[in-house]
Amino acid sequence: MALFHDPFGPSPPMSTEDYTKLAKRKLPTMTWPYLSSGADDLVTIRDNREGFRKWRLRVRTLTGANKPELKTNFCRTKLALPLALAPTGMVGLAHWTGDVAVSKAAELSGTRHVLSTAASYSIEEVAEATELDHWFQLYPFGDRDKATELMNRAASAGYTALFVTVDVPILGNREAERRSGMTIPAEFRLGSILEAGLHPAWWWNLLVHRRTAPIHYVAGRRSAVAGAIEAVRAQQRYMQGDLNWDDVAWMRDHWKGPFYVKGIMDADDAAKAVDEIGADGVVVSNHGGRQLDSCQGAIDALPAIVDRVGNRCEVLLDGGVRRGSDVIIALALGAKGVFIGRPYVHALAVGGEKAVRHVIDIFREELHRNLILMGCPSVAALDRSWLIPA
Ligand SMILES: Cc1cc2nc3c(=O)[nH]c(=O)nc-3n(C[C@H](O)[C@H](O)[C@H](O)COP(=O)(O)O)c2cc1C
C-alpha cells in the first residue's frame, strides 16, 4: 500500500530525481513550493538545468584509466569529491533532524556542509553534533551587531570558511510559495489542515521538535507559529536592501579564515570581490533560481567568470547540479568544485541523514563511472578540452 511504501524497499531511489519525486509525495503539499520551486516563471531554474545540455563530454578510449581520482581541495579543506552541500534555510521543514543530519551526512561522506544563517539548528548545536569543521553562510545584515555576533559565534564554534550571500537584497517573487500559504508567518488554509491527515508523522515532528523557524533570528525554541512570526520581524529588522561592497569589505576584515562571496553572476563583480575585497573565491550562483528570474543560468555564467578571475581565486558553482556529468562539465569549464541544494534537501525529507549520504554516494558513483568512460584519470585533469559544444 502506498501509505506504507518503504523508500529503501524493493525499489530504492537511484538518482537525485528519484529523491525529488519521493519527497514530493512524502511532504505536505504546502511545504513543497518552498523546498523546490523558485521565482516568477521559473525561467532561471530551467536555464540552470538546460545550461548543462549545451555541452557534451569528450571520450578518449583505451586509456587504461580505471581508478579515477576524485579527491580535491577547496576552502582550504581536503574533500573526497569536488562536491559540497549548499546552505539552505529552514530545512527542519523537510525533516525534523534538519541541519544536524545534513552536516553529519556531509562529513561522513568526506565533504562539508555550509550552515545557513536561516538554519533550523544553531551554529553551536551543529558544531557539537559533528566531528569536523564545517562552513558558515552569512546574510549580510545591515545590523552590524547581529552580523558580528553570528561571525564571532561561528568562529568560536570552529567553522572555518565564511560564505556571504549577496543575492538577497530583497526576497525574490516566489509565487508558488505565496499561493501555498507557506509564507512567513505561515497561513494555515483549510485545505492544508485537511491534507495534514495524510502526513501525521511530519506534523507530529513539527509540533514536538519545533524545528521550522530560522533559529538564529528567534530567541529560543518558540512554538512553530510564534517562532515564525518573530522570525519575520527579525528578518525585516536585519535585512537591508542598500548593502554595498563596503559592507562586504567590513565582513572580510572581520573574518580571519577563508572568505567567499556567494551569488556572483558577473565577471566584473567577481573581479571586485577578489581584487578589491580580498575574497578567497566566489560562488557563481543565482540562488537556485529563487531570486531574480530570467537571469542567466549559473553554468552559462561560469566561463566568463573563470576567464576573469580563475587564475587567482577559487571559482565554485551551484544551481541545477543533478548528475555526476554536471559536476564534470562545471569542473571542465573551470570550477574548482560545486554545491548542491535541492537534491540533498529532498533526500533529507525522504530518509534523513542516511538518504543525504546516499545522494552524495550517487554523485560519487556517477563521477567515478563517467570519468572511466571518458578515459579521464582525475577530476584535476578536467579542462575545456574535455568538452564539446552540443
Ligand atoms: C530550500 C532552500 C533554501 C535555501 N536557503 C538558502 C539560504 O539560507 N542561504 C543561501 O545562501 N542560499 C540558500 N539557498 C540557495 C542554495 O544555497 C543554492 O544556491 C541553491 O539551492 C543551488 O541550486 P540547486 O538547488 O539547484 O542545487 C536555498 C535553496 C533552497 C532550495
**Ligand 1 atom 15: the closest Cα is on which residue?**
287
pLDDT at site 122? 95
Q: Please determine, for residue 259, whether its predicted confidence score (pLDDT) is greater than 80.
A: yes
Q: Determine the residue of 31, 136, 287, 292 to mutate for testing ligand 1's pocket, defined as the one with the most ligand atoms within 8 A of the Cβ atom.
A: 287
Q: How many helices (H) and strands (E) does the chain have?
A: 15, 12
pLDDT at site 3? 44
**Ligand 1 atom 21: the closest Cα is on which residue?**
341
Ligand 1: atom nearest CA of 322 is 27
Q: Could you read off the pLDDT of 85-108 as tens digits, one per residue?
A: 999 999 999 999 999 999 999 999
CATH number of this structure's domain 2-389 = 3.20.20.70
Q: Which residue has the cell 517573487?
A: 173
| Angle of CA points 84, 104, 347, to nearest 5° | 70
Q: Which set of grid coordinates corresponds to residue 177?
A: 510559495
Ligand 1: atom nearest CA of 117 is 8
- Rounded distance from Cα 2 to ligand 1 centre (Å): 30
- Rounded distance from Cα 9 to ligand 1 centre (Å): 29
Phi, psi (degrees; rounded to nearest 5) at 171: -75, 140
Q: Please determine, for residue 288, whether its predicted confidence score (pLDDT) is greater than 90.
A: yes
Residue 200 CB-density burial (10 A; 0-12 exposed, 13-18 middle, 19+ buried): exposed
**Confidence band, pLDDT 50/70/90 cuts, at residue 214:** confident
Check pocket membership of 285 for ligand 1, CB cut-off 6 A.
Answer: yes
Sheet of strand 83-85: strand arrangement: 83-85, 337-340, 314-318, 281-284, 259-264, 161-165, 135-138, 114-115
Clarify whether 358 is annotated catalytic: no
Q: Determine the residue of 88, 138, 164, 293 to mutate for testing ligand 1's pocket, defined as the one with the most ligand atoms within 8 A of the Cβ atom.
A: 88
- Rounded distance from Cα 94 to ligand 1 centre (Å): 13
Find the mean pLDDT for residues 279-291.
Answer: 98
Check pocket membership of 314 for ligand 1, CB cut-off 6 A.
Answer: no
Check pocket membership of 48 for ligand 1, CB cut-off 6 A.
Answer: yes
Phi, psi (degrees; rounded to nearest 5) at 158: 95, 10
pLDDT at site 2? 43
Phi, psi (degrees; rounded to nearest 5) at 260: -125, 145
Nearest to 90 by CA among 130, 150, 33, 147: 33
Q: Please determine, for residue 321, whether its predicted confidence score (pLDDT) is greater than 70.
A: yes
**Ligand 1 atom 6: the closest Cα is on which residue?**
88
Q: How far is CA 14 from the centre of its chain?
A: 21
**Confidence band, pLDDT 50/70/90 cuts, at residue 202:** confident
Q: Which residue has the cell 571520450?
A: 59
- Is the Cβ–Cβ distance between 125 and 96 less than 8 Å? no
**Ligand 1 atom 31: the closest Cα is on which residue?**
342
Q: Please determine, for residue 188, whether its predicted confidence score (pLDDT) is greater than 90.
A: no
Check pocket membership of 102 for ligand 1, CB cut-off 6 A.
Answer: no
| Angle of CA points 263, 269, 271, to nearest 5° | 120
Buried b (16+ CB within 10 A) or exposed e, 55-79: bebeeeeeeebeebebebebbebeb
- Rounded distance from Cα 253 to ligand 1 centre (Å): 25
Nearest to 295 by CA among 307, 303, 311, 284: 284
- Rounded distance from Cα 315 to ligand 1 centre (Å): 17
pLDDT at site 1? 37
Contacts of 37 (CB under 8 A, 6+ apart): 45, 174, 176, 177, 290
3-state secondary structure of 27: coil
**Sequence ranges of the domains in the chain:** 2-389
Give me the catalytic one of 95, 216, 287, 358. 287
Check pocket membership of 33 for ligand 1, CB cut-off 6 A.
Answer: no
Residue 293 to residues 289, 296, 305, Cα–Cα distance (Å): 6, 9, 20
Find the mean pLDDT for residues 39-61.
Answer: 97
Q: Could you read off the pLDDT of 18-27 as tens digits, one per residue?
A: 999 999 999 9
DSSP H or E segment with residue 115: strand 114-115
Find the mean pLDDT for residues 33-59.
Answer: 97
Report which DSSP code applies to 69.
B
Query: In angstroms, rounded to a whole number, what is the distance separating the alpha carbons of residues 157 and 151?
Result: 10
SS3 content of the chain, % helix, strand, coil (to 5): 50, 10, 40
Q: Could you read off the pLDDT of 124-182 as tens digits, one per residue?
A: 999 999 999 999 999 988 888 989 999 999 999 999 999 999 999 888 999 888 887 66
- With a pLDDT cut of 90, the percent of the chain lying above it is 74
Q: Across all residues in the chain, what is the average pLDDT? A: 91
62-66, 138-142, 207-211, 307-311 — most confident range: 307-311
- Is the Cβ–Cβ distance between 284 and 317 less than 8 Å? yes
Count CB-CB contacts under 10 A for residue 232: 16
pLDDT at site 7? 57
Q: Please determine, for residue 220, whether its predicted confidence score (pLDDT) is greater than 70.
A: no
Query: In angstroms, rounded to a whole number, what is the distance separating the alpha carbons of residues 1 and 313?
Result: 53
- Full DSSP string of 235-271: HHHH--TT--HHHHHHHHHH--S-EEEEEE--HHHHH
Check pocket membership of 262 for ligand 1, CB cut-off 6 A.
Answer: yes
**Ligand 1 atom 20: the closest Cα is on which residue?**
288
